[in-house]
Amino acid sequence: MFKIITDNGSDLPRDWLAENDVDCLFLSTILDGKIIAGKDLDLPAAKFYKMLSEGAKPSTSQINPDQAKEFFSEHVDDADEFLYIGLSSGLSGTVQSVKLGVSEFLASHNDKTIEVVDSLTGSLGQGLMVWHAVRLRKEGKSLKETADWLRENTQHFLLSFTVDNLFDLWRGGRVSKTSAIVGTLAGVKPFLIVDPEGKLVVPQKLRGRKKSLSYLVDTMETHKAKDFALNDEMVMICHGNVPEDAEFVKEQIRERLGYQNFLMSNVGPMIGTHTGASLVVVSFIGDSRY
């Protein structure tokens, strides 16, 4: 049986990863020159977002080739075949670094096979791809069959999100300070998606928090897969530190669209550094990227 690996860009809970035999590579979150979250450092979401509210300005660091090579060297006896599902190359250089590290590792371990899949998404969009990889492995699919299916269906993994505080996006480098000031004064709540190239775009700006949260469900209703066999299998929702808003979106999806299978999670420090505590994310299977 092949081993599945992702990174913490997926925002999957650590207990879920352990229960489903999925390993994780860690991008680091750094504050004042020290790593505060990453490998062997699990910083609870509530504590992290409290730090942000008190003025902390962390940054993040991608996985480098040496770290990737070291990871596979440490896990060399776990399996003969590995599948890594990584954070979008449109958001981070991590996938490319892992490919380089894997190439160096395989040069001295030619009895091993490693497939690297660029999710072209992040957070629980990437997490949903991992969920399906686990499903396929349970069904007895081979490493190649699973990797091929993921690549063929990458554009079916849809991710959308909104934030309440534009200054969080400014601090995370996602909008200009002018946009944050003007948008805040106008009560603007941006709606963001991950496009077909795996990059963040803002196709819509709404006024009012409830409207922006409901728009997540509106968009899901418009783009949910109509002919895709797995369209009702799983919906994933995560948030920074706004559980009531995430629950509101979940109930809207349940009542309006009839979905019953949900995975709820917190957005971890790595993603949260760039988005802040007010983030609410929805991921689902759709006909194609927006």
Domain ranges of the chain: 3-27+62-152, 156-285
Residue pLDDT tens, the chain, 290 long: 999 999 999 999 999 999 999 999 999 999 999 999 998 898 999 899 999 989 898 999 999 999 999 999 999 999 999 999 999 999 999 999 999 999 999 999 999 999 999 999 999 999 999 999 999 999 999 999 999 999 999 999 999 999 886 656 555 555 444 444 334 433 568 888 999 999 988 888 888 899 999 999 999 999 988 765 555 579 999 999 999 999 999 999 999 998 999 999 999 999 999 888 999 999 999 988 87
Encode 100-113: b = buried (16+ Cβ within 10 Å), e = exposed: bbbebbeeeeeeeb
Are the C-beta atoms of residues 120 and 90 closer than 8 Å to each other?
A: yes
pLDDT at 184: 45
pLDDT at 206: 85
Separation between Cα atoms, residue 150 and residue 119, nearest integer Å = 8
pTM above 0.85, yes or no: yes
Are the C-beta atoms of residues 12 and 130 closer than 8 Å to each other?
A: yes
The strand order across the sheet containing 28-31 reads: 34-37, 28-31, 59-61
Separation between Cα atoms, residue 279 and residue 284, nearest integer Å = 17
pLDDT at 66: 97
pLDDT at 182: 39
Are the C-beta atoms of residues 151 and 117 closer than 8 Å to each other?
A: yes
Q: Which residue has the tokens 């920074």?
A: 240
pLDDT at 169: 58
Q: Which residue has the tokens 């992040």?
A: 122
What is the CATH architecture of 3-27+62-152? 3-Layer(aba) Sandwich (3.40)
| CATH number, span 156-285 | 3.30.1180.10
